[in-house]
Amino acid sequence: MEYEIISKQAEIPDYDRLAVCVQYIQGLESEITEARIQALLAAVPDGVDECLFLDPDGEGDFMEVLCDGEWLALGCCFDDGGECYYSYNPAYAESEELTGLDSGGQSPIEKRLALTDMEAGAEAVEYFIRTGKLYPGIDWAKQL
């Protein structure tokens, strides 16, 4: 695959840290509460496999969050899959090594598309939950 790299920004725009743009969390049958969001964010560094949808029916725009405690991969699709973005790790830009993570349970994820900075990754997840947008504080790879 070919990618366009979108470099992280030095300044993060202010956003409402209590807003909730995510309307559906795969596998969660109950209402999305602040307690559930905080539990998800706390779990990110240790390991998580979640899909967060902006649509209440679990369709359309989403973020896939995969973490095994060592690697964190974020994948976002917008416009019915017409635009796909992945977290990008410039330290592995030339590497084809794989993490132990599998997108959708089957597609191996390369180290260049996974983060080791769990704090920044958790911030990216929260930013998506709150704004429905890509977090400008990490690098992203846009699939061409």
- pTM of this structure: 0.95
Confidence of residue 97 (pLDDT cuts 50, 70, 90): very high
Domain count, the chain: 1
- Determine which helix (DSSP H) or strand (DSSP E) holds 120, and give its type and residue range: helix 118-131
User: What pLDDT digit, counting tens, does each position of 26-74 carry?
Assistant: 877 778 999 999 999 999 999 999 999 999 988 899 999 999 999 999 9
One-letter amino acid of 57: D
What whole-number distance in Å separates Cα of residue 143 and Cα of residue 2? Answer: 6
Buried/exposed 53-89: b ≥16 CB within 10 Å, e otherwise:
bbeeeeebbbbbbbbeeebbbbbbbbeeeeebbbbbb
Angle at 92 between CA 91 and CA 93, to 5 degrees: 100
| CA distances in angstroms from 105 to 39, 82, 87, listed in the order given | 22, 21, 18
Range of 36's domain?
3-143
Chain segment 61-76, per-residue pLDDT in tens: 999 999 999 999 999 9
